[in-house]
Amino acid sequence: MKKPKLFTLCIGCLTLLACGDSNKGKNSNEKLGQNEKNKSIGVHAYIVKPESFAEEIEVPGNVIANESVEIHPEMAGRIIALNIQEGKTIEKGTLIAKLFDGDLVAQLKKLEVQLQLAQKTEERQSQLLKAQGISQQDYDISLLQVNNLKADIGIIKTNLDKTEIRAPFTGKMGLKNISVGAYVTPASVITSINQTNVLKVDFTVPEKYI
């Protein structure tokens, strides 16, 4: 009967020891948590708000005309008239210079007379063809003559237009490089025209800023 009492007493002691250790651990954890709460943490705060940002760089550049061309004749010839006032603004299509065109005018008149005669011949040949008085080949020859003369007249008129040198656009005239009576070729520079009502800035930006 004594042995069971001793066993019960030992169990009771172990239980008390376990509870005591548990309370110690609980108290230690509570103290550690309290210490952590008491520690302060430093925080840096910044207020963010939108602001405009612009980076400026200085680069060398040149102010140039929006359009600038040298005026050359399209064909060779002698200058018989000039309309160049240096520094003056002229309108597009204004006559700047005139080349001698006497030989072209004479050729044009000659061809126009030949065309009139050829057209009359072609009309007669057409009537004969309808009456079967000539062959189709004979009529075609007269018609070809008319068409060839018309083509030659077109070439002469185109060359006559080239004797008149006009401003390609509205702008300010440059220096006069020739005088009346001078013989010019397509390589000759008569003057220059600069469109200054609109200007452009020519400059280079370093790659690191692009």
Structure confidence by residue, pLDDT tens digits, 145-184: 999 999 999 999 999 999 999 999 999 999 999 999 999 9
Using CA atoms, how far apart are residues 194 and 121, in angstroms rounded to an integer? 53
Q: In the chain, how long is the greatest CA-to-CA distance?
A: 167
Residue 22: is its pLDDT beyond 70?
A: no
Q: How far is CA 14 from CA 18, 23, 27, in A?
A: 6, 14, 20
- Residue limits of CATH 1.10.287 in the chain: 101-162
User: Between β-strands 61-71 and 191-203, what pairing exists: parallel, antiparallel or unpaired?
Assistant: antiparallel
Q: What is 60-99+165-205's CATH number? A: 2.40.50.100
Using CA atoms, how far apart are residues 203 and 186, in angstroms rounded to an integer? 33
* 88 token code pair: 């003056």
78 pairs with which residues across the strands? 183
Q: What is the pLDDT of residue 61?
A: 76
Q: What is the pLDDT of residue 18?
A: 46
39 vs 208, more confident: 208
Q: What is 101-162's CATH number? A: 1.10.287
Complete DSSP assignment for 123-161: HHHHHHHHTTSS-HHHHHHHHHHHHHHHHHHHHHHHHHH
Average pLDDT estimate for 109-123: 97
Q: What is the pLDDT of residue 188?
A: 97
Residue 59: is its pLDDT beyond 90?
A: no
Residue 11: is its pLDDT beyond 50?
A: no
Number of C-beta neighbours around residue 106 at 10 A: 11
Taking CA 34 as the corner, what is the angle to CA 31 and CA 40, rounded to the nearest 5 degrees? 140
pLDDT band at 200 (very low <50, low <70, confident <90, very high): confident
Average pLDDT estimate for 23-52: 60
Long-range contacts, stretch 39-47, CB < 8 angstroms, 24+ apart? none
pTM exceeds 0.75 for this model: no
**Residue pair 61/205 in contact by the 8 Å Cβ criterion:** no
65 pairs with which residues across the strands? 199
